[in-house]
Amino acid sequence: MGTIRISGAEAVIRCLLEEGVDLIYGYPGGAIMPVYDELYKFQDKLHHVLVRHEQGATHAAQGYARATGKVGVAIATSGPGATNLVTGIADAQIDSTPMVCITGQVGRHLLGSDAFQETDIIGISTPVTKWNFQVTEASQIPEIIAKAFYIARSGRPGPVLIDITKNAQFDEFDFSYEKCTGIRSYNPVPKLNLDKVAEAAALINSAKKPFIVFGQGIILGQAEAEFKAVLEKSGIPAAWTILGLSALPTDHPLNVGMLGMHGNYAPNLLTNECDVLIAFGMRFDDRVTGKLSTYAKQAKVIHFEIDPAEIDKNVKTEVAVLGDVKESLAALLPLLDAKSHDLWHNEFKELAKIEYESVIKDELNPKTAGLSMGETIEMINKHSKGDAIIVSDVGQHQMFACRYAKFNSTKSNITSGGLGTMGFALPAAIGAKMGKPDREVVAIIGDGGFQMTIQELGTIFQTQVPVKIVILNNEFLGMVRQWQELFFDNRYASTKMINPNFVAIAEGYHIKSKKVTQREDLDAAVAEMLASKDSYFLEVMVEKENNVFPMIPTGACVSEIRLS
């Protein structure tokens, strides 16, 4: 394209449009005001959502990115505006979420002078970004924004931050834009080694008890169809990390459940009985492995991964297959023998029966007078039929949602995994619904996490985005309380919550609301919520001291998983 002479602020908007951005989340302020002035002029092409706190902007951008697969965009001013983005940026970094954050900064001549609302956001954000850069001249803007989007979405995705000084926003230059297609010394996708694929296939074909564990890499790599084909040909049981949930339909016969601290009994126990462990797009997080020195020591480990830094970082591999998982799976499929592994599957089924009788039956059909979190999730399943996007916050309710929610399609489970950010779900649900307006989006939140970003009810009211919000209220910081009960002799230190009238608060934002305290009212309330064309707030009072099981205690082996 030719050049036009424009300001740096206008260039920012034109760059975003060139990258296909049509929705951004943010909060204005002095140092970013020139960009907001241009946003006003381009509002017919680029929709800006005014959040109520900058952290909400990053979580909304994350929800949008996770639901759509596109790059989420957040924008804020300098100083506290920029620092308020950091939690969401750190969350996006550890969960590999593509996001570009743009912050305003004081003028170049004021840098380092402790000017009003100046912070070194580049220094602060360096540990939690995939890349960051401070723009001090208007002419740098096109190249840096092009690089930012390329880096954010390529290879293993992640967040990028661009800090733009105020002079660079005001100054004019001759603008042209060229998308970035590569950066010297940055190789986001390793070249696939077909010999390694063949080695992996040979190990898999010779295995008597092969076991697949998969993570969000399947979703990020858009490899769901290839993964399903490999599963169905090989007949291997497969278990997921919480970020891998929904890559494979919940009711698929080869889906044996959830790995990790509060995962299912069979996949955790049998991790230490398989002879070949095949990992796809997961990083062997400590919540999955438990005590590393005892994790799958009997197994030969095959790791399919895009990020070389993850290979042998936690678990020693027999064969590492680096590359794009979609390409790797396509190369693996024709080399696999068709098998069923019926006897091996029966071991999973027998252990699943034990878990059902010991844990699941009473959780979904409790004998107590009070409602359980599990039965609430099951009621949502009944009315959503597994077609909703579930956005969960962090805590007991998150584990119950991941354990019991049903999913028919990919990109349907959105939660904060690696960072475990309370307050994530409400703004993330806004982003998910805006990204996928044709899908039902239900936020599952605890009474503690809800109050960390409760102000985003204002964003819902102003935008009229029809998000459904379910608060599972046990009047405790439930997960911390569970640990205090099990490991600290019932000393409930600072975990009891004295909560406000949540329904009144939601109604103050003109959101239709209901509170359920009795089991006989739950079915109708959930049905009414999901039938609503508008946003809806449902508070469900649940048992105060119900625990989520199974559980692998911190530092314990996966084989030491507890059912009670």
Is residue 172 part of the annotated active site? The answer reads no
Whole-number Å distance between alpha carbons of 173 and 196: 50
Whole-number Å distance between alpha carbons of 452 and 436: 25
Q: Minimal CA–CA distance to 48: which of 31, 62, 30, 60?
A: 60
- Point out the catalytic residue in the list 117, 233, 313, 485: 117
Whole-number Å distance between alpha carbons of 366 and 347: 27
- Point out the catalytic residue in the list 99, 479, 497, 551: 479
How many alpha carbons fall within 13 Å on the CB side of residue 209? Answer: 16
**CB contact at 8 A, 447 and 502:** yes
Q: Which two tokens stand for residue 136?
A: 């001090």
Whole-number Å distance between alpha carbons of 510 and 512: 6
Is residue 479 part of the annotated active site? The answer reads yes
- Point out the catalytic residue in the list 116, 170, 487, 488: 116
Is residue 407 part of the annotated active site? The answer reads no
CA 59 to chain centre: 10
Is residue 400 part of the annotated active site? The answer reads no
Is residue 216 part of the annotated active site? The answer reads no
- Point out the catalytic residue in the list 10, 19, 54, 347: 54
- Point out the catalytic residue in the list 130, 166, 209, 406: 166
Q: Minimal CA–CA distance to 36: which of 81, 69, 2?
A: 81
DSSP at 139? G
Q: Which residues lie below 8 Å from residue 507, measured CB to CB, with a gap of 6+?
A: 513
Whole-number Å distance between alpha carbons of 443 and 372: 17
Q: Which two tokens stand for residue 437?
A: 């307006």
Whole-number Å distance between alpha carbons of 366 and 339: 39
Q: Which two tokens stand for residue 340?
A: 């069923």
Whole-number Å distance between alpha carbons of 550 and 262: 5
Which residues are catalytic, by number?
54, 116-117, 166, 479
